[in-house]
Amino acid sequence: MRYFSAFTGIGGFDLATPSDWECVGHSEINKYANMVLKYRFPKVRNYGDIEKIKWEEIPDFDVLFGGTPCQDLSIAGNRAGLHGSRSRLFFEFIRALKEKKPKHFVWENVKGALSSNAGWDFARVLLEFSEAGYSVWWQVLNATDFGIPQHRERVFVLGTLGNEPPSKVFFEQKSNTTHNGIHQITKSQPQSRMIYGIDGIAPTLTQKTGGGHVPKISLVHNGVQWSRVYSTQGIAPTLHRHTGGWQVTKIAVPVLTPNRAIKKQNGRRFKNDGEPSFTITAHDTQGVYDGKYIRSLTPIECERLMGLPDNWTKYGINDNNEIVEISDTQRYNLIGNAVVPVIVKNIIEILEKQ
């Protein structure tokens, strides 16, 4: 089988394909994703911007893969819908189907695609696939149901050229599944990436707004929260005399949003042992609490939580054909935008039977 990977990212779809499948091309424009692709798939041509591709010049292929940009469909985005500046690229995916007519396609997007524009955007998606000549099956799939210790729901659409009804394919939704893998993923990682310890040590003090699982520092004195952070031992650099006596030493207390294990905040909470992680995002700032420390997830842990090979995003090849290391910031971005390969692998197994 031959395939083309549109909106390739770091090659999540490629990792899912059988070893005897041939990739005839990638389409990706992100600078750092392209560096990783060049390093991992040196023999595959990257055609770049999908809007500029002349499909008549692309070798024929049997399967088209693609996870079109989702920012305008995500509940975390501005919900601009299919005609938003990024999600409109969905219609380039349709153009590829109409011009190349591959036997199958697999399309992936965020669960928010179902509710965008009160559901009319997804209805348009299905209509466009139908008018391109495909019968389709779709389902929201959660990574936890495929052995991945991450709660990550994505909608997948599998299309087959022709008017024959697609096979009735439904993946079982597993409930009450225990995932011990999260512990295996984090236990071997260095503690040097600690953000906050219970002793107030804070190598990196960052605070972001907008909620989410962002480790934050609070200063607590007699139940009053202060806005300043002092030294790693919790000692104020200078003790000034104020009306009413000396200013007492304040201790930096680590808290994670929500700041107590028994508290919920905007539906977010501390995870219990054996539960999958929260969804990895492009700007992920989740922490891991081992009973003593709260620290950030490392890039390699995020890769493991996606089912990617260790250090898959660590290296790339730049424009000078030099092998370089990708920064952690960019690695988090690339990983958070990736597709979970094992889900695609299961879909391909079904596709090959049709």
pLDDT-derived band at 249 (thresholds 50, 70, 90) equals very low
pLDDT of residue 188: 55
Catalytic residue among 15, 50, 70, 326: 70
Quote the pTM value: 0.74
Condensed to tens digits (0 to 9), the pLDDT of residues 90-137 reads: 999 999 999 999 999 999 998 888 888 888 888 889 999 999 999 998
pLDDT tens string 309-319? 999 999 999 99
pLDDT at 346 over 90: yes
| Average pLDDT score over residue span 166-188 | 57
The pLDDT of residue 202? 35
> Averaged over 148-159, what is the pLDDT?
90
- pLDDT greater at residue 145 or residue 84: 145
The domain ranges of the chain are 2-177+312-351, 190-297
The CATH code belonging to domain 2-177+312-351 is 3.40.50.150
Q: Tell me what the pLDDT averaged over the chain comes to.
A: 74
pLDDT of residue 319: 95
* Mean predicted confidence (pLDDT) in 224-250: 40
> What's residue 117's pLDDT?
80
pLDDT of residue 313: 98
On whether the CB atoms of residues 155 and 114 are closer than 8 A, the answer is: yes
Which residue type is seen at 105? F
Is the per-residue pLDDT at 55 higher than 80?
yes
* Per-residue confidence (pLDDT) for residue 69, from 0 to 100: 78
Q: Could you confirm whether 70 is annotated as catalytic?
A: yes
Q: Where are the beta strands (DSSP E) in the chain?
A: 2-6, 22-27, 63-66, 104-110, 134-142, 153-161, 194-197, 215-221, 224-226, 241-242, 245-246, 251-256, 287-289, 293-296, 315-317, 323-325
How far apart (Å, rounded) are the C-alpha atoms in residues 2 and 159? 16
Whether the predicted pLDDT of 42 surpasses 70: yes
Percentage of the residues of the chain whose pLDDT score is greater than 70? 60
Higher pLDDT, 34 or 83: 34
pLDDT value, residue 149: 84
How much is the average pLDDT of 158-167? 79
Cis check for the bond before 258: say yes or no (omega within 30 of 0).
Answer: yes
> What average pLDDT score do residues 261-274 get?
57
Task: Provide the sign of the torsion angle of the four alpha carbons 273, 278, 266, 198, taken in this order.
Answer: positive
Encode pLDDT of 70-81 as tens digits: 555 444 445 455
**Could you please report the per-residue DSSP string of 21-82?**
-EEEEEE---HHHHHHHHHH-TTSPB---GGG--GGGSPP-SEEEE----TTTSTTTT---T
Model pLDDT, residue 47? 97
